[in-house]
Amino acid sequence: MSGGLPVGGAMRVMGSETEYGIHAPSAPGANATMMSARVIQAYAQVTRQRAAGGAETRWDYTDEEPLHDARGWTLERSQAEPDQLTDQPPVLDAEAVALAYGRQELEADGEDESGTLLMNMVLGNGARLYVDHAHPEYSSPEVTSPRDVVAWDAAGDLVALAAVRRLAADPELPPVNLYKNNTDNKSVSYGSHENYLMPRAVPFGDIVRGLTPFFVTRQIFCGAGRVGMKQDGSRPGYQISQRADFFETEVGLETTIRRPIINTRDEPHATADKYRRLHVIIGDANLSQTANYLKFGTTALVLSLIEAGLAPKLEVHEPVAALQAVSHDTSLTATLRLLDGRRITALDLQWIYFEAAAKHAQDTGVADAVDGDGHTHDVLERWSATLTELANDRAAAASSVEWLAKLSLLEGYRDRDGLEWGHARLGLVDLQWADIRPEKGLYYRLLARDRMRRIVDDGMIQRAVTEPPSDTRAYFRGRCVSRFGADVVGASWDSVIFDVPGRGRLQRVPTREPLRGTEALTGGLFARHREAGPFLSELLGLPPGS
């Protein structure tokens, strides 16, 4: 259940987060946080050109609760790792920058009016673009279907590309490359997260039991592939997942150390007694649209199973070791031991989840090709088709399964040039696969040759760069930013804050219900008002002019 959406299938309020790898080849040793801030700054310049009012807005931190644990407690601040304190604005003020880098660096950089580098933006499409630790991160707006996740996640890659182009055109600054991957192969990993809205009434233990076997094995269709084994990539080889070797525990609050298969961060960004936001940190960043689509679509289906109490009853022996064993087995023939003594392959396990999800979706009616919810039928079809191809026709699967597409390219090089897995050119193919520039990124070279299947067309992705989804509160947030940007002083997932000239105080509009603030509910309001003052008066039921 996610508010008013059809229950039992693949529809749900959800969103993606992508931390991009960042690299300036001509400026080795450049500070990563500073470079990331330049990326945000560059995109702010792009949006200023696009909208005269300035379509960028600061982030409002008042509802961030990174230390709330879904198991029912809150971590003491004094015991938290510094990078868990994500509720404090990472403002690089002028003084800190000057101390760290000297005045010239500061002067070379664009500052906004208040003298701080912009580290955080809310975009007109409802997304958030900001500096997270030492990476630029794009958090997509909330959407309700796997297809829309693919569109607004890919829109983030275009946002990042626009910033890269802007920096490349600036003779004063070193060009910056961004990579949609998850590791530098030198023991560092950075995340690509998924967020799913769930009713709070679902016991967290059910989520852990239901999701763990699924998460151990879903990588066989949504892994992005990685050259190198172990966290530091020191053992030559190829594995299915970018992230698997970085996971060390089954359940936990951390996201940067002792990474858990199930993350317990409990910041609902919504009415807390009704919802939880399940924060999933185990996935790979996907360029393949099908892989991304299945990652979100099948996970949403499994959450529907868990909510109905219908998740398959099976437990994998030592899930962390199993996760890595699956990732290291590109033949897909290794077997996992279940606690009941059975030994089954990752494909077998996925089929068990598929059968349960298909049956539940049939029973609830959402999977009907005509009268269903319009999404679940397609997700189930692609899920089963991909599992079938993985077993019987890997060449066909390579047009949708990202780790196989990358592997076929690598095998081409190995065959033609006689390369061993440790050869640097193969490492470069892996890295450059994820370069977000279409002329350099190897995924995009395959896409241009129609070797990768599409879920959404380029026009839809392009629209998603500037347009918010119509059917969540992201519509309200995005429209407020692009229409009234000059009068919006802050926004977050669950608020928009206005500072309207002539009014004595800031006005914070809460958006605690993810399925309100939609085009259906607020489109008329936006159509009637070009000015923030009257818009707010009508929205808040104030007398005109107040």
Partner 1 sequence: MAGQEQQQPQSRDTEVDEDVPAAPPAPAEGQASAATQGVDDLLDEIDGVLESNAEEFVRAFVQKGGQ
Residues with catalytic annotation?
132
Residue 323: which H helix or E strand, with range?
helix 319-327
Place of tokens 């029912």: 72
Q: Which of 63, 65, 69, 83 binds partner 1 (CB under 8 A)?
A: 83
Applying CB under 8 A, among 10, 287, 442, 496 the residue interacting with partner 1 is 442
Cβ proximity to partner 1, 257 vs 506, nearer residue: 257
Choose between 158 and 323: whose C-beta lies nearer to partner 1.
Answer: 323
Coil, helix or strand at residue 201: coil
* Other beta carbons less than 10 A from residue 27's beta carbon: 13
| Residue 248 neighbours by CB distance under 10 Å | 14
The contacts of residue 363 (CB under 8 Å, 6+ apart) are 8
Give the nearest distance from C-beta 529 to partner 1 in angstroms.
39
Number of residues that bind partner 1 (CB under 8 A): 72
State the nearest-atom distance from the C-beta of 305 to partner 1, in Å.
Answer: 25
Which of 317, 530 has the CB closer to partner 1?
317
Which is nearest to 124 in space by CA: 44, 180, 178, 64?
44
**Residue 116 interacts with partner 1 (CB under 8 A)?**
no
CB nearer partner 1, residue 32 or residue 94: 32
Does position 317 bind partner 1 by CB under 8 A?
Answer: yes
384 part of the interface to partner 1, by CB under 8 A: no
- Nearest residue to 74 via CA among 57, 59, 87: 87
Regarding 479 and contact with partner 1 (CB under 8 A), the answer is: no
Q: CB–CB of 261/247 below 8 Å?
A: yes
Rounded alpha-carbon distances, angstroms, from residue 210 to 6, 381, 486: 21, 22, 46
Output the six-digit token pair for 151. Answer: 């569109």
Residue 259 is inside which H or E element, if any? strand 259-263
- Token pair belonging to 343: 């030994």
For the segment 259-288, give every residue that binds partner 1 (CB under 8 A). 281
Smallest gap from Cβ 320 to partner 1, in A, equals 8
CB of 406 vs partner 1, minimal distance in Å: 10
Report if residue 440 touches partner 1, rule: CB under 8 A. Answer: yes
> How is residue 57 written in tokens?
């807005």
Question: Which residues in 321-350 contact partner 1 (CB under 8 A)?
Answer: 321-322, 324-325, 328-337
Q: Which of 21, 210, 268, 297 contacts partner 1 by CB under 8 A? A: 21
Query: Which one of 60, 64, 132, 513 is in contact with partner 1 (CB under 8 A)?
Result: 132
- Nearest residue (CB) to partner 1, 190 versus 204: 190
- Interface with partner 1 in residues 415-434 (CB under 8 A): 415-416, 424-425, 427-429, 431-432
Q: Which of residues 510-539 bind partner 1 (CB under 8 A)?
A: none
Structure tokens at 463: 């629209």
CA dist 150 and 461 (Å) reads 8
Q: Are strands 128-132 and 120-122 parallel, antiparallel or unpaired?
A: antiparallel
- Compute CA distances 504 → 52, 113, 508, whole Å: 25, 21, 13
| Contact assessment for residue 373 and residue 9, using Cβ atoms and an 8 Å cutoff | yes
Q: Is 33 in the site for partner 1 (CB under 8 A)?
A: yes
Site string for partner 1, 161-200 (x = CB under 8 A): ------------------x---xxxx-xxxx-x-------
Question: Interaction with partner 1 in 388-417: which residues (CB under 8 A)?
Answer: 391-395, 398, 404, 407-409, 411-416
